Structure 1
């Protein structure tokens, strides 16, 4: 009984001495928080493409994943140019007359793909935020799921970041092409798109740090178990 209590006590002390996270884990948390803010802002703001502010007669003001802002966009279905769209609208706005009729023009297939992949990136970052906060505030090496938590967070962020990278690549290739937005030569990628790129790459980088942290913590726990096994063997032979 005394030997078992000493063994349990020694293991508990060793677990308490183990760091809750190493440098890779701390850097992963910091990088993830920056990436999460970038992804959130990129997802919610309408500046993926913006018009040159120096051109006073531009038809487009700015455009995001879910919001379009026009200065004066003629209805492409109206051959007589009697209807114009002015101001910012949600892409699925049900109240503006004729807006639903040009939705196919405003959301071509590549835009749907961008929305889909970056939405997956956004959802993964939201779930990842909860897991990272749990890892930062609550989890410790003395818990059985500690390594699995870190590894699961790493794979989740890797998947989300990969989807985000795919979304911004699709948008970068086709987002400012001719025959979609008016006066495409006067448009350029805005700060929301830049944040989207930073956020997606940051999620991938932070996933690598979390997976590295999971590997380090796994090795530490394995070394601890081996040392405890040797200690138990030495005690039993005495």
Structure 2
């Protein structure tokens, strides 16, 4: 039996796209960016875990005596006053986006190990070969659904006028675009691997049937 069908090979290729795009979207700070042509913009760009400001006034200081400038990790413990505005930086929808996209990344990382086993170690002659492929398919399906929820939530609420300043001059950045591509690639990967599991299962059944038929013919001749 051939180790992989065309569907399985395509699944590996799409999985690599999913891995790269999800990892880049997770770690890069350009989910929401400000138009660089606008002078005096308070926001530069922000991602899931870091924010870059040109000159953001402290939303808790009515006299605007403190401004935040530069890029910082969202959980930065060293900048004075930054911990006090964490509730402003991380509203409920942003925490939901972080949570679901983290689930997506973890699913992709777990699948990376399984895909390597599928690509390098396992073959149709092994008993759990079909189970391995199905596990990859279902894990990637969960990752794709989680990633889709994350990007949909952020697309709906990430540029709302109640959150970041100058929302009319802000737009969804390339990191968000990679997140969308990654979520779609996860779903496509899941579909390909689940299809591959059905193909391998049918091949295994046909092989067993042909072996049984051969044994019956051999016994009849004997």
* RMSD over aligned Cα atoms: 0.7
2:50 corresponds, among 30, 51, 67, to: 67
Q: Which residue of 2 aligns with 1:132?
A: 115
Q: Which residue of 2 aligns with 1:221?
A: 204
Within 5 Å, which residues of 2 pair with 1:115-126? Answer: 115-126=98-109
Q: Deviations over 1:183-209 (max 9, x none)?
A: 000000000000000000110011100
Q: Which residue of 1 aligns with 2:6?
A: 23
* Larger CA deviation: 225-234 vs 149-158: 225-234
2:138 corresponds, among 155, 176, 183, to: 155
Distance 1:212 1:99 in 2: 49
Distance 2:7 2:209 in 1: 24
Q: Which residue of 2 aligns with 1:11?
A: none
2:154 maps to 1:171: yes
Deviation at 1:234, TM superposition (A): 2.0
Q: Which residue of 2 aligns with 1:88?
A: 71
Distance 1:227 1:61 in 2: 65
User: Secondary structure in 2 aligned to 1:188?
Assistant: strand
Distance 2:92 2:203 in 1: 49
Aligned residues: 221
2:25 maps to 1:58: no
Pick the structure with greater CA Rg. Answer: 1
Q: Which runs of 5+ in 1 are unaligned?
A: 1-17
- What's the TM-score once normalised by structure 2's chain length? 0.98
- What's the TM-score once normalised by structure 1's chain length? 0.92
Distance 1:184 1:19 in 2: 55
Deviation at 1:84, TM superposition (A): 0.5
Distance 1:73 1:19 in 2: 60
Deviation at 1:136, TM superposition (A): 0.9
